[in-house]
Amino acid sequence: MGKIKLQEREEIPVEYTWDLESMYKNEKEWEKDCEKVKNLSEDIFNYKGKILSSSKVLLEVLKKRDELYRIVSKIFSYGNMKLDEDSRKSKSQILYNKGLGLYVYAQEKTSFIVPEILSAEEDELKGLLKEEGLCLYKQYFDDIFRSKKHVLSTEEETLLAQMGEIADSPENIFSMMSNADIKFPVIKDEEGKDVEITHGNFIPLLESKDRNVRKAAFEGLYTTYNKFNNTFAAMLNGNVKKNIFFGKVRKYPSSLSASLGQNNVAVDVYDNLIKSVHNNLKFMYKYIDIRKKALNVDELHMYDLYTPIVKNIDIEIPYEEGKDIVLKGLEPLGSEYRDIVKKGFKDRWIDVYENRGKRSGGYSGGSYDSKPYILLNYKDTLNDVFTLAHEMGHSLHSYFSRENQPFIYGNYSIFVAEVASTCNEALLMNYLLNNTHEKEKKLYLLNHYMEQFRTTLYRQTMFAEFEKIIYEEVEKGGSLTGEYLNKTYKELNEKYYGPGIVVDDLIANEWERIPHFYYNFYVFQYATGFSAAIYLSQMILKEGKSGVDRYLRFLKSGSSDYPINVLKNAGVDMTTEEPVNNALALFGKLVDEIDELI
């Protein structure tokens, strides 16, 4: 298909679109399931106050709840993907909104289940679990009782739930301010044409070969944010205080432990990540020196970090060729894995090309009872090949989890969500590096790989450290002023990037545009997931079949155990510093390799 003008949905050949008809042949089938959800929700609600009356009743309720969420997740997933095909279609908007409404309705009607289970004594519940059928729910009950001391009375929980919309205010205000109200200046692009800076084109502008374009984009964006410094500080301060409040009322020792407690992850994992990166900053400093040398500049500035250090490499890879490259890259994972990838290509899991109205970016979706669909906007670039491998990693993780686990454990924790996708990327990169002999192309690939380390492992850890510092500041009675946040953020940039770069004053405002600072200690998981993936990819390449078998066991585990344990069973222990140190040691080798080539 190559590079063509943007088409309407109907113009895309059917073989390059995903097969949503295998979910629902028509809207009538979808509506039938909607009716089922309403009826089943009402049926379950009738058990309120009775679910602990016997093991038989408890099992009935849990089975019906599983059935309800199997159906409603399929309904919502279908509506969501139909909307993503073309967001302009009012019919798809209706499907999405109705599906979302049904999801909320199901949650309301089943909200009594966990509090009622928690009202029982643990010994009483263990007695019920001995009954046939209920043993399936052992991990589920363990997880509930683990959090029992952090669950409040029914009245208090109701009050907290009613605060939901108010609690979301800081993030919603940030989103409106950053995405809707702020307007960035117009600058000149490489061809001297006027271009308005937007969130979408900011990084591409920083990747420009023209240094004047990079500098203008950098200064244009952050000068604008700086004008609203106190407003963004007030938003972030409000969000931090909100999370501290919820952590305190739920009797956690800190906001960090409250956030990590949801996945049963120890605070040590967070602290070890920061410690390991601090101990390996020398590799980043050397990479910065190489970047300065490669770009041939007297001073390296913050706006020079994204532009490729290898010029004039234009690698065009049509989709069919991209599929073959991905399959070759994933060869170390063995035939069982690769056969499922081929199945995904053949059975139309993937919506390949952009069309008018289609959602941007890429993701892996679907539900327990559907194909693990993939949305792409493939444009024949090397990045698109990596995106295909990445999303296929997510989809294979979903496929193996759903095929091998009952519905209740058919999903995987957010803590491990990026492991399979990044492992695929690492294996693909290993294949490409081993099969590329042209110096310029090899440099391009090494630069691409090292940028993943910089942006995912180093930068996300810097974000994680920033979060930790600002929460601790508020927890000890401090306040997050614009001046304090700017100073803290700039000092971290100086620590992480070292003496070889001019840390421009305006970078102090970067925290203002990062939405993840409203996600409550979320970003560290990008860095831990990346480290685990690098560790597992090396294990697969080194050990062969035994490594692959352990890895497949991880993919098939879903959420049948806590994420730290699931990873341990695969051979990587995230409670130690080893996985992060191992990933950073690989980064050090890549730095040495690119240094020799430049």
Q: Is 391 a catalytic residue?
A: yes
Q: Are 270 and 259 in contact (CB under 8 A)?
A: no
Rounded to whole angstroms, the Cα distance separating 372 from 369 reads: 9
48: left (phi over 0), alpha (psi -120 to 50) or beta: beta
Rounded to whole angstroms, the Cα distance separating 144 from 151 reads: 9
Q: Are 584 and 276 in contact (CB under 8 A)?
A: yes
CB-CB neighbours of 514 under 10 Å? 17
* Residue spans of beta strands (DSSP E) within 441-526: none
357: left (phi over 0), alpha (psi -120 to 50) or beta: left
Q: Tokens 């679109």 sit at which residue?
A: 17
CB burial readout 170-181, b (16+ within 10 A) else e: bbebbeeebeee
Rounded to whole angstroms, the Cα distance separating 248 from 239 reads: 14
Number of residues that this document lists for the chain: 598
Q: Could you tell me the sign of the dihedral formed by the alpha carbons of 566, 569, 572, 573, in that order?
A: positive
Where would I find the H helices in 130-254?
A: 138-146, 154-162, 164-167, 169-175, 199-206, 211-227, 229-249
C-alpha to C-alpha distances, 99 to 43, 213, 348, nearest whole angstrom: 19, 44, 23
Phi/psi at 109 (5° precision): -75, -20
In 3D space, the residue among 171, 290, 160 whose CA is nearest the CA of residue 232 turns out to be 171
Extract the tokens encoding 4. 């063509």
Rounded to whole angstroms, the Cα distance separating 10 from 20 reads: 15
Q: What angle in degrees, to the nearest 10, is found between the helix axes of 439-452 and 578-597?
A: 150
Q: Are 229 and 509 in contact (CB under 8 A)?
A: yes
Q: Are strands 186-188 and 194-196 parallel, antiparallel or unpaired?
A: antiparallel
221: left (phi over 0), alpha (psi -120 to 50) or beta: alpha
In 3D space, the residue among 236, 245, 241, 217 whose CA is nearest the CA of residue 177 turns out to be 236
Rounded to whole angstroms, the Cα distance separating 32 from 185 reads: 51
Strand partners, 101: none
Q: Are 379 and 2 in contact (CB under 8 A)?
A: no
Q: Are 315 and 322 in contact (CB under 8 A)?
A: no
For 185, which DSSP code?
A: P
Strand partners, 115: none
Q: Which of 85, 171, 391, 510 is catalytic?
A: 391
Residues with catalytic function = 391
